[in-house]
Amino acid sequence: MNTSANIYNLPKVRGVYKFAEPLKNYTWLNVGGPAEVMYFPEDEEDLRSFLRQKSEDLPVFIIGGGSNLLVRDGGISGVVIKLGNKNFARQRIENNTLYCGAGSVNFILKKMIEKNGLGGLEFLCSIPGTIGGAVRGNAGCFGSDMATVLTAVRVMLPSGEVRNLNNEECGFSYRHSDIPADWIILEVGLKFAYERSEEVAAKIAQNAEYRRTHQPQGIRTAGSTFKNPEGYAAWKLIKQCGGDKMVYGGARMSEQHCNFLHNDGTATAADIEKLCHAIEQEAAAKCEVPLELEIKIVGQE
């Protein structure tokens, strides 16, 4: 990969460009090659100016907290945009709605949700990643998901145009939204009902305790690897087809919860992808329903 800014004729920005930036440092699975260019916009205006001036054939990918991504070993060509600046992580409360910049980290929102007693948003506090990534994939747990709480989302189109979408226009379904891959989520509005902050804190603690006792902690993973097919639990199908015993290099499924990938620190992205595909194939051959990946595989081999 070429690391010279001139080659890409990159627009002048107020934000930061990094070249050949290792994406393993930005993903929970801790694997993957570099971003050819990584761009951290300063603010929305900077982002808009970049999109309007960049050459049309320069591909762009947006990364959030990297908690649902498997980046291949060849990395990602073109520009990977990360809304890491604090200007994309502001929050305000208005009319029983929490508005958060798309770069807000869910774990950090926890403090605000607890302190202000924002009932109905407790589930979000235990999902790794950013609010932008959560909307894109309709993240959810403990009986709620983004579709349950989202009232509005502001997005930037590849042309730089900013548009407001309501809940229906997001086209949410199980771990999916219809928001096009090249639209950048900027800000999200989430409805809540005021409750005593002690009650909200207790629910958050209860959810955290459930995770501690039922899911692996502190490992390199991307959470649920496969979606639960309707009426089935993915982990049971993985067990049924023997996927829980498969090993590819440093990649296997967690002993504690076999729908969680586990990179022991030596896995390559190729090991992980092989494991995923081997499980898919075995499930197709041996189980009543096929498995579909929940994690997103991106980049070049």
Ligand X SMILES: Cc1cc2nc3c(=O)[nH]c(=O)nc-3n(C[C@H](O)[C@H](O)[C@H](O)COP(=O)(O)OP(=O)(O)OC[C@H]3O[C@@H](n4cnc5c(N)ncnc54)[C@H](O)[C@@H]3O)c2cc1C
Q: What residues line the site for ligand X (CB under 6 A)? A: 28, 62-69, 83, 102, 127-130, 132-134, 136-137, 139-141, 175, 184-185, 221-223, 296
Residue closer to ligand X by CB (options 96, 173) is 173
Residue closer to ligand X by CB (options 75, 132) is 132
Residue of 67, 6, 32 whose CA lies nearest to 220: 67
Which residues does 146 contact at the CB level (< 8 Å), separation at least 6? 134, 135, 138, 139, 140, 172, 177
Least distance from C-beta 199 to ligand X, angstroms?
Answer: 21
67 in catalytic set: no
Which of the following is catalytic: 48, 122, 224, 252? 224
Which residues does 161 contact at the CB level (< 8 Å), separation at least 6? none
273 in catalytic set: no
Q: Are 241 and 259 in contact (CB under 8 A)?
A: no
Least distance from C-beta 6 to ligand X, angstroms?
Answer: 27
175 in catalytic set: yes
Task: Report CA torsion sign: 256, 113, 188, 142.
Answer: positive
Residue closer to ligand X by CB (options 8, 26) is 26
Q: Are 132 and 188 in contact (CB under 8 A)?
A: yes
What are the residues facing 153 on neighbouring strands? 165, 188
Q: Which amino acid is at 213?
A: T
Which of the following is catalytic: 42, 175, 195, 280? 175
Least distance from C-beta 289 to ligand X, angstroms?
Answer: 20
Least distance from C-beta 106 to ligand X, angstroms?
Answer: 7
- Catalytic (active-site) positions: 175, 224, 294
